Amino acid sequence: MKNHIFRPLWVVIGLVVLILIIRPFYVPKDFGIHERGYMYGWYRKSNIEDWKKVSVKYQGKEYCGSCHPDKVESIDRTPHAVIQCENCHGPALEHPSDPPKLAIDRTREQCLRCHAKLVYPSSGRANIRGIDPDKHNPGVECVMCHNPHNPILEGLK
Amino acid sequence: MISRRDFLKSAAKVVAGASIPLAAIEILAPARVHALKTDSSIRWAFLVDTYKCVGCGFCVKACKNENEIPYDANVTRTWVERYVLTKDGKLYADSPKGARDGFTGTKIDLGMGHYQDIKKEDIKKAFFVPKLCNQCDNPPCVQVCPVGATYQAPDGVVMVDRKWCIGCGYCIMACPYGVRFFHPKYHTAEKCNFCYHRITKGLKTACVQACPFGARQIGNIKDPNDPVAKAITTERVGILKSEYGTKPQVFYIGLDEEVR
């Protein structure tokens, strides 16, 4: 057969050989078939460790209580004991070193997440005391009158 | 005319030839068997109690912050859906911004800027359903990945290798639950991984911790003393889209037929 037919063939063969040579260097040693076989377990194993390295942002109530026990103790005597500090105070991250101060969410919308009355009979929402946001002092921040750390109505400011 | 000798010779050749590929498969198999045998003692599973969910959306807020999902982008690893069934047989469902800011009104978001207010007298049933990745035992999203960028870890969690993902989006199309999306910053496939960095440190996931009502729980289904495993194995729980055969590992208490 003529040379001009073979020439592109050699190029293709050359490329295949080149890829096969590069492949062992390029593909990480831990990439391959793991526990769950080829269908579900074909991956780079060290990626599992990569995901474990993601930083924890929400430290939890106990972390807050180790420095602010008085605050945790006082809120624990109220129905708001079920709410994590960081739900309103924001993720602690590395507080107190970084950030030294947390941005507190004092907005009306934050309270309305639970306290906008929705009469949904088969949901826990129906059992939460709530208001109609359009009728109950619209535009005013809830914390003007209510203390979120002592939300019972007797504790009105 | 074929002689007996030639016939037997050819027959032996055919049998020998046919058995070689079979034998080759037999040689490969033990590695696979060994891989299957090294089983993890952990299998993470999730339990959602829809009766307890009040639609506050603290789970979504915590998830987005914890997992560095751009807060204002309309994508989220977990979300909460609201279902409202009226007495005249209509079904309304919405999840504005994935319920990142909770449900603060009676108006249902119909999309395209339209809202439908439903009076409480007209409601037959109404409830909230939190959604997240089901960490399926047979994850269709993993099967379709052409580059091995998404996989199932030995403890059952399905994860995405951001270095390996080429952003083809096959997995996003393959997931029957619609839990996958593109990360607006990394431009790779993104999904809930049960806060892998937290559960492997003995912490709860960000959404479980943030939920004030215990509507979300996570546990190890292989540990018989795990309260979540006990609840899943002894209580009446449902799964989403069982007809797909994906074997989801997120179980729901109080699942209604309207929930898809």
User: What is the tens place of the pLDDT at every residue in A94-139?
Assistant: 999 989 999 999 999 999 999 999 999 889 999 999 999 999 999 9
Q: In the structure, what pLDDT confidence band is assigned to residue B37 with cuts at 50, 70 and 90?
A: low
CB-CB: which of B58, B198, B213 is closest to A124? Answer: B213
Distance CA(B205)–CA(B200), nearest Å, equals: 10
Residues in A closer than 8 angstroms to B201, CB to CB, are: 52, 56
Report which DSSP code applies to B235. Answer: S
What is d(CA B117, CA B110) in angstroms, rounded to the nearest whole number? 10
Q: Rounded to 5 degrees, what are φ and ψ at B53?
A: -70, 130
Over pLDDT 90: what percentage of chain B? Answer: 82
Interface contact flag, A35 B35, Cβ < 8 Å: yes
Task: Please tell me which of the candidates A48, A57, A120 has its beta carbon nearest to residue B126.
Answer: A120
Instruction: From chain A, pick out residues whose CB is under 8 angstroms from the CB of B164.
Output: 43-44, 47
Q: Is the model's pLDDT at B29 over the cut of 70? A: no
**pLDDT score for A4:** 85
At residue A122, the pLDDT reads: 85
Domain-located, residue B129: no
- Give per-residue pLDDT as tens, A47-94: 999 999 999 999 999 999 999 999 999 999 999 999 999 999 999 999
Residue B216 forms part of a structural domain: no
Query: Which of A92-115 are b and which e, b meaning 16 or more Cβ less than 10 Å from the residue's Cβ?
Result: bbebeeeeeebeeeeebebbbbbb
A57 three-class SS: coil
Burial class (CB in 10 A: 0-12, 13-18, 19+), B207: buried
Question: What residues of chain A lie within 8 A of the CB of B58, using their CB?
Answer: 83-84, 87, 113
Q: pLDDT higher for A99 or B1? A: A99
* For residues B75-82, average pLDDT: 97
Query: 1-30 in A: which are within 8 Å (CB) of B?
Result: none
Chain B neighbors of A40, CB-CB under 8 A: 138-139, 142-143, 151-152
B16 inside domain:
no
Residue B168 in this model has a pLDDT that exceeds 60: yes
B164 lies in some domain: yes
pLDDT at residue number A5: 82
Domain that holds residue B161: 4-10+22-41+135-194
Residues 6 or more apart from B238 whose CB is under 8 A from it?
B251, B252, B253, B255
Residue B25 has pLDDT above 70, yes or no: no
In a domain, B147, yes or no: yes
Burial pattern B69-104, b for ≥16 Cβ within 10 A else e, equals: beeeeeebbbbbbbbbbbeeeeebbbbbbbbbbbbb
Q: How far is CA B244 from CA A8, B79, B129, in A?
A: 47, 21, 20
Q: What is the DSSP letter of A101?
A: S
Who among A34, A43, A125 is closest to B54 (CB)?
Answer: A125
Interface test with A, best of B104, B164, B208 (most A CBs within 10 A): B104
Domain CATH number, residue B186: 3.30.70.20
Q: What contacts A63, CB < 8 A, 6 or more positions away? A: A92
User: Number of CB pairs < 8 Å for A and B?
Assistant: 164
In a domain, B124, yes or no: no
Q: Is the pLDDT of residue B38 over 80?
A: no
User: pLDDT-based confidence at B231, cuts 50/70/90?
Assistant: very high
Cβ neighbours of A56 in B, within 8 Å: 66, 197-198, 201, 203
Number of domains in chain B: 1
Q: Is residue B189 part of a domain?
A: yes
Contacts of A37 in chain B (CB under 8 A): 32, 35-36
pLDDT digits (tens, 9 = 90+) for B99-151: 999 999 999 999 999 999 999 999 999 999 999 999 999 999 999 999 999 99
- Give the span between the Cα atoms of B200 and B217, in whole angstroms: 15
**Residue B156 within any structural domain of the chain:** yes
* pLDDT level of residue B27 (50, 70, 90 thresholds): low
pTM of the model: 0.86
Q: Is the CB of residue A107 less than 8 Å away from at least one CB of chain B?
A: no
Question: A119–B152: do the CB atoms touch at under 8 Å?
Answer: no
